[in-house]
Amino acid sequence: MADDEKINWAEDPGWHFDFRVVIPIVQIRYLRKQSAEPLGGLRTLFVAFVSAFVLLGVVQLFWDRPSVDAAVGAWIVAIALLTGIAFVVEPRVERPLSCESDATLLDSYRSRFFIRMGTANAPLYVGFVGGFIASPSVYVASLLLAVPMLVRTAPTPAALRRDQDELSELGCERSLVAALRRRPSE
């Protein structure tokens, strides 16, 4: 029996965390050599993004700068507004998953993943700058405010089930997990 026949493509393989994705230089090499199916690659990429922002927070803690306490509140309010706007606007502009073929389903899911990831990262970038200008607490606040958006972006089994239910309600009989696990050439 060929390897392809042994794999249940519709079964979610889960998260296989590898600590190499949290080390910045090793991370680049690891992601280049990633041979897992696209779903595993998206999960690895998600962990890499999140770990990068945690590491940026560590850098903030050791950066010596004068604290501008008066500006901290203004930075946090600005980041909260940006996060709120992003959280409300992004779902209204994102496209629904395309169910024409497994390849279009994979492409539409990837596109949505990267749009959500970029939207979740925007407040973190502003918080990173604010952390250097005002105080590290600004960056910590931006991390906390971004958590709901990052959770929404994560390709967890529960999120995939919700997406599959939405596809089923639209009359799509394709398996989202199967589409995400196959390479586009398969």
In a domain, 98, yes or no: yes
- At 57, list the tokens: 């927070």
Identify the residue with better confidence: 68 or 139.
139
Per-residue pLDDT band at 42 (split at 50, 70, 90): confident
Residue 44 domain flag: yes
Residue 61's pLDDT band (cuts 50, 70, 90): confident
What whole-number distance in Å separates Cα of residue 159 and Cα of residue 165? 10
In which element (H, E) is residue 35 found? Answer: none
As for how many domains the chain has, the answer is: 1
Q: Given this model, what pLDDT does residue 71 score?
A: 83
Average of per-residue pLDDT across 9-16: 70
Q: Which domain holds residue 123?
A: 14-181
> Is the pLDDT assigned to residue 114 strictly greater than 90?
yes
Question: Is 6 part of any domain?
Answer: no
Taking 50 as the threshold, does the pLDDT of residue 166 lie above it?
yes
Helices (H) and strands (E) in the chain, counts: 8, 0
Asked whether residue 34 carries a pLDDT value surpassing 60, the answer given is no
The pLDDT-based confidence of 1 (bands split at 50, 70, 90) is very low
Higher pLDDT, 23 or 101: 101
Can you tell me the mean pLDDT for 24-34? 61
Q: Which residue has the higher pLDDT, 137 or 31?
A: 137
pLDDT of residue 39: 83
Query: Which pLDDT score, from 0 to 100, does residue 80 have?
Result: 93
CA 40, CA 125: separation in Å to the nearest integer?
26
Helix (H, G, I), strand (E, B) or coil at 94: coil
SS3 category, 127:
helix
pTM check: above 0.85? no
Examine residue 5 and state whether it is found in any structural domain, yes or no. Answer: no
Asked if residue 110 lies in contact with residue 38, where contact means CB atoms within 8 angstroms, the answer is yes
pLDDT value at 88 more than 70: yes
